[in-house]
Structure 1
Amino acid sequence: MRKFALISLCLLMSLFLINCKDDVAPSYTITIEVNYPDGFTVADFPADVLVTATNTNNTRTTTVTAASDGNAIFELVEGNYNFTTSFAVNGNDGEEYIFNGIISNYSLISESALTMNLILANNSGGFILKEIYYAGSRTPENNGYYEDQFHEIYNNSGDTLYADGLCIASLDPNSSSKQTSWVDGNGELLDRLPLIYQAWMVPGNGTDHPILPGESFIIAVDGIDHQTDENGNPNSPVNLGNADWETYMEPSGKDLDASSVPNLTLVYTTITTIQDWLVPVYGPAEVLFRLPENDWESYVSDANNFMTKPGSTSSTEYLMIDKEFVIDAVECARLDRDERYQRLPVELDAGYTAIEAGSYSSLSVRRKAKMIIGNRVIYKDTNNSSEDFLHDLTPTPGVNPSSVEE
């Protein structure tokens, strides 16, 4: 009897070990070849080019240093991955050159070899999206409240810039969890970007609104003190009663116009019935841009600047802008989905930032302070939001940090 029990126990343990072995995900070797842009050679790059693999199913990261031949070799378990790199090189001319690379949503199911084409970032300075508070807050009744959203736009250069004619909008689709339809026959993102909901512009004749180096301006969805106003939310983290601009949706007939805050110009909207600027609370892809010759009326009267969504039966027309119009762009991802799709071309943003606490969390994303010269903060701007932004912060519109951040 004892011998029979021992044999049975051994059989059970064997079955257990076999089942456990079956449950372990297989691992594969994947080689990422870092492909340098035209005009650059391996010798132009540092020896420690780091490539990071992020498993989008569990957000675990693995970082490998590329060898002298430009190949980074990973041993990874089966899964869905993003591969990224971002680094800077000081040229002989004394300038800093920043390079980004990304491969998104790669399904690793066998040994593989991929090429990562590096992009030279255009970080010449200018207007940047410094802080974006898109998540919104919750009311005492636990309802979602997004009317306290704001964007802070900052002059990151050493010159006086003019906000006149500067435009801001979000891209379609309204979430990074949706694969975009705006692609060409090869599945690559179009060179023209589709604007969703509303596009806004700072009015002026060209020199009406100077922004000095190190100064910024605030665009509020509703320019009120959200903590105390009867139309606000006492749980909101912000007072936007002193914002520089607000987005007043006059076509809806429902929006309240804050008399103390001037209105931006509504360039175009895909939906006229919503009472406020609809910034996606799950994570927008945001663009700052200028239209040709700052002539928005001529631009929106040209039918060639509109498209319906590819593959859709909807008649909704989206205003399209050339990616060359873009001054700054930020991809804000939705983290409660395993897959995240880029809506911005890699040369505009090679990464993403996000609110890990999720929508209606009263938190924002903000660029890192790269250096401080006198009283002026210079913010990090590598065209890679994964590197440039801090996240899950208490919103601080108009406030700059007092020390450099990593």
Structure 2
Amino acid sequence: MKKFTQYVFCITILLSCKKIGTPELQPINLKISTVYASTELGKKLSLSKVLIKILNVNTNVEKQLITDANGNVSFQGISAGVYDISATITIPAATYSSVTGEIVDKDVIFNASDKNKTIGLTNNELNIKLVSGNIGNWLIKQIYYAGSNTTTGAGYRDQFIEIYNNTDSVMYADSLYFAEIIGRQSYTNTSYYTLPNGQMDWSKSLNMPSNIDANNNYVYPRALFMLPGKGKEHPVLPGASIVIAQTAINHKSPFTGTDGKTITVRDPSLTIDLSGADFEAYYAPFLPRPLTSDIDNPSIPNLNVLAYNGTDMLFDNPGRTAFIIFKRDGTEVKDYPKYNYPTISTPSSTSDKFYQIPNSVIIDAVEIQPNTASDRVPKKLGASLDAGYTFAPNGQYSSQSVIRKTDRTENGRKILKDTNNSTEDFDYFSLANPRGFK
């Protein structure tokens, strides 16, 4: 009798739990409305046929719809959860020029995004603003941040970034800047003032002016570099690249470190040859204890290091970062202001400060995120710079790089895809491939 009673009790509890939990399992309808961030453009440009994509970050299921004439869509019967939401519309150059009176020679792309958004029964209506970004002449083509196996490969030593001339004219890489952007690296660190999306609220930084939009109009690099040259020393042909290596050597082969010891890899197939890089980072002259692997290739020009993090040009290999390239706007970068982290506690006089780079000078930007959804961090770049993100599918130390897709070929010159949305623009190489194409 006692066992029977226990059985009935358990069944009752299970049925009760199922009944109580049922509303949470109900499918919901998600309504999304789009508008142009610019009120003036909103009066002139159509909101019809904006492509809206929603990605359930837990199940990796993606759905997409096209907006109606009013810029609205409704996703019917989706499950509650956490979603990445993006919107994009391409306005042909002729149409844009006709309706706005502004003459452009390229199609204008507008994007919007809302990442890591919790959608539920009481949070199922969103309004998102479409913004246009710069379609660059220089593009970040490939980023090898993951590195290779720490036991059988080269670890982090073989990292590089590749920048591409996406035009039909010779351009000069002299005094081109690139930077790795700082930001909150997890949702659990509570020492900073934060925004609703979880990212740092730079407006709360010590001595930040109150009359600027510190979060939306600027970015803050943890590492900042400038390519050498005074104007026309480093020409880059149309459809050609520059490769910037952490250390410009053949990482497949043994080499002698600065301590006189031989450094080698067990499996050369996991790493790459960077002896043909165009530039390299060399930190030894200004570090008290440089890495023994940071050797100088005398035939490769060194970067000018303006700000750095760590003991070499070490990219965050879990992928919790973003990269930008830019040119000066007549202002010396050293004259840009620097600010502390927006920490809740007052920073000390010796705390690190970071350059404040205006979005207006940025030519291209790429957001990197970890390969698994549970490890992803608050976005560092707004939709005008990068509406999405990219990642190496196998994560850190996988030998994989992220590579920009080829959009088309004209007279033998590859034109790379550039929609200001890295989710759409990038693929990956199973083994990083300097100057390769996808």
TM-based fold match above 0.5: yes
State whether residues 184 and 378 of structure 2, in contact with CA within 8 Å, keep that contact through their aligned partners in structure 1.
Answer: no
Which residue number corresponds to residue 341 of structure 2? 309
Q: Distance in 2 between matches of 1:56 and 1:176?
A: 16
State whether residues 29 and 111 of structure 1, in contact with CA within 8 Å, keep that contact through their aligned partners in structure 2.
Answer: no
Deviation at 1:174, TM superposition (A): 6.8
State whether residues 401 and 432 of structure 2, in contact with CA within 8 Å, keep that contact through their aligned partners in structure 1.
Answer: yes
- The one-letter code sitting in structure 2 at the alignment partner of 1:80 is V
**C-alpha RMSD of the superposition:** 3.0
- The one-letter code sitting in structure 1 at the alignment partner of 2:215 is L
Deviation at 1:240, TM superposition (A): 0.2
Q: Distance in 2 between matches of 1:204 and 1:102?
A: 37
Quick one: which of 134, 138, 151 aligns to 2:161?
Answer: 151
Query: What SS does the aligned partner of 2:356 have?
Result: strand
Answering whether residue 276 of structure 2 is matched by residue 242 of structure 1, we say yes
- The one-letter code sitting in structure 2 at the alignment partner of 1:104 is K
- The one-letter code sitting in structure 2 at the alignment partner of 1:133 is Y
Which residue number corresponds to residue 207 of structure 2? none
Alignment of 1:27-66 (within 5 A): 27-36=27-36, 37-40=38-41, 44-45=45-46, 47-66=48-67
Which residue number corresponds to residue 320 of structure 1? 356
Which residue number corresponds to residue 252 of structure 2? 227
- The one-letter code sitting in structure 1 at the alignment partner of 2:111 is N
Q: Distance in 2 between matches of 1:294 and 1:247?
A: 24
State whether residues 42 and 70 of structure 1, in contact with CA within 8 Å, keep that contact through their aligned partners in structure 2.
Answer: no
Higher relative strand content: 1
Q: Distance in 2 between matches of 1:240 and 1:95?
A: 35
Which residue number corresponds to residue 82 of structure 1? 84
TM-score by length of 1: 0.85
Give % identity. Answer: 29
Cα deviation code 1:234-280 (max 9, x no counterpart): 444310011111011131252321223221111223x4xx3311211
Deviation at 1:188, TM superposition (A): 7.7
Query: What SS does the aligned partner of 1:118 have?
Result: strand
Answering whether residue 203 of structure 2 is matched by residue 184 of structure 1, we say yes
Query: What SS does the aligned partner of 1:119 have?
Result: strand
TM-score by length of 2: 0.79
Deviation at 1:392, TM superposition (A): 4.9
Q: Which moved more, 1:350-359 or 1:12-21?
A: 12-21
After superposition, the Cα gap between the structure-2 partners of 1:287 and 1:130, relative to the gap in structure 1 and judged at 3 Å, is: same
Cα deviation code 1:295-345 (max 9, x no counterpart): 4xxx42x4x611011125361111221111211100011233435421012
Q: Distance in 1 between matches of 2:341 and 2:413?
A: 43
Q: How many pairs align?
A: 387
Query: What SS does the aligned partner of 2:330 have?
Result: helix
State whether residues 225 and 232 of structure 1, in contact with CA within 8 Å, keep that contact through their aligned partners in structure 2.
Answer: no
Quick one: which of 389, 395, 398 aligns to 1:352?
Answer: 389
Q: Distance in 1 between matches of 2:40 and 2:410?
A: 33
Alignment of 1:199-238 (within 5 A): 199-230=224-255, 231-233=263-265, 234-235=267-268, 236-238=270-272
After superposition, the Cα gap between the structure-2 partners of 1:194 and 1:388, relative to the gap in structure 1 and judged at 3 Å, is: same
Which residue number corresponds to residue 173 of structure 2? 163
Cα deviation code 1:100-120 (max 9, x no counterpart): 111223222315322110012
Unpaired runs of 5+ residues, structure 1, are 402-406
Quick one: which of 93, 110, 118 aligns to 1:99?
Answer: 110
- The one-letter code sitting in structure 1 at the alignment partner of 2:371 is L
Cα deviation code 1:71-103 (max 9, x no counterpart): 111243222222111232323357422121112
Deviation at 1:375, TM superposition (A): 1.8
Q: Distance in 2 between matches of 1:364 and 1:309?
A: 30
After superposition, the Cα gap between the structure-2 partners of 1:397 and 1:28, relative to the gap in structure 1 and judged at 3 Å, is: same
After superposition, the Cα gap between the structure-2 partners of 1:97 and 1:232, relative to the gap in structure 1 and judged at 3 Å, is: farther
Q: Distance in 1 between matches of 2:18 and 2:214?
A: 41
Q: Distance in 1 between matches of 2:129 and 2:277?
A: 41
After superposition, the Cα gap between the structure-2 partners of 1:229 and 1:325, relative to the gap in structure 1 and judged at 3 Å, is: farther
Deviation at 1:23, TM superposition (A): 4.9
Query: What SS does the aligned partner of 2:203 have?
Result: coil
After superposition, the Cα gap between the structure-2 partners of 1:287 and 1:211, relative to the gap in structure 1 and judged at 3 Å, is: same
Cα deviation code 1:4-43 (max 9, x no counterpart): x9x9999977765554455553333331101134444598
- The one-letter code sitting in structure 2 at the alignment partner of 1:149 is Q
Q: Distance in 1 between matches of 2:152 and 2:301?
A: 31
